[in-house]
Amino acid sequence: MNYRHIYHAGNFADVLKHAVLARLVRYLQNKDKAFRVLDTHAGIGLYDLSSEEAQKTGEWLDGIGRLLEAELVPQVADLLEPYLTAVRELNPEGGIRLYPGSPKLARMLFRPQDRLSAMELHPEDFQRLHRLFEGDHHARITELDGWLALGAHLPPKEKRGIVLVDPPFEEDGEYERLADGLAKAWRRFPGGTYCLWYPLKKDAPIKAFHEALQALEIPKMLCAELTVKSDRGFTGLTGSGLIIVNPPFTLKDELHALLPALKDMLAQDRFASQRAFWLRGEH
């Protein structure tokens, strides 16, 4: 309950998460049929990077700040286009002051038939999220523990959707909870596309986490990881990962183009690395 994303908004982890989320939204829009994005840990939806909190850490400077100033080769520019266009639309005077969280980004990319369900448990953050989407009939904002949404809000009535699970990882056992949450959700909505975010840091139980996911025997799980610096002598966040369940068939190739470019742009030392691989399924 103490986690506030404003300190981290727009950082390198957000760049990876939001670039991939935008690709998933665009892919589902290849069909006319409506879909729903379910965001289980939604935050406040829109972040002011000029605020005292964001300025205190300045993490966005090594994330979206670098990306907006980078020269992109055409293929990478195309892959990042929906994400970066949304960011620029929020900052029409240039530079960057406002940054979209996941629910705002998804909503900005929607067609008229697409819908958002966003969950937030922190009372103050819920109120801000609710105000942001007030009067928007495409969005349903609920004050709820996001883990409960994986049971109560699935499957969506559209029977198509993206489920984004981006917990704060404040407590012990969150990796196990993420695997258990996916198991529960997938039983209810096996056709959904899931995007699970997790942190990479010193001594994080990544191998055990991946093995727990593989044990679920979900047919198709793709993993994308981006590390921006060495964890030697550093206990904080050094990278982040995404597990994508039922990924678009194009996503693996897109990640092979996108991840090396992001690594080069966002690296904080020579130990930066990236990888995309199948946890289960196509190899």
Domain containing residue 15: CATH number: 3.40.50.150
What pLDDT, on the 0 to 100 scale, is given for residue 146? 93
Residue 27 in tokens: 């892919």
Q: Is the pTM of this model over 0.85?
A: yes
pLDDT-derived band at 5 (thresholds 50, 70, 90) equals: confident
3-state SS class at 119: strand
Q: Which of 166, 203, 231, 264 is catalytic?
A: 166
164: its two tokens: 């984004």
**Where is 130: in which H helix or E strand?**
helix 123-132
> Alpha-carbon distance 65 to 99, whole Å?
10
Report whether 264 contacts 73 (CB < 8 A).
no
Residues counted in the chain: 283
What's the pLDDT at 1? 44
Q: How distant is the alpha carbon of residue 283 from its chain centre?
A: 24
- Confidence category of residue 229, pLDDT binned at 50, 70, 90: very high
CA distance 147 to 174: 11
Domains: count for the chain:
1
The pLDDT tens digits for 50-73 are: 999 889 989 999 999 999 999 999
Say if residue 171's pLDDT is above 90.
no
> What local confidence, expressed as pLDDT, does residue 7 receive?
83
Residue 244 to residue 261: CA distance in whole angstroms? 20
Rounded CA separation 102/120 (Å): 12
pLDDT bin (cut points 50, 70, 90) of residue 3 is: low
Structural domain containing residue 126? 5-280
Q: Does 166 qualify as catalytic in the annotation? A: yes
Please report which confidence band the pLDDT of residue 283 belongs to, taking 50, 70 and 90 as the band edges. low
Binding residues for S-adenosyl-L-methionine: 18, 41, 102, 120, 145-146, 166
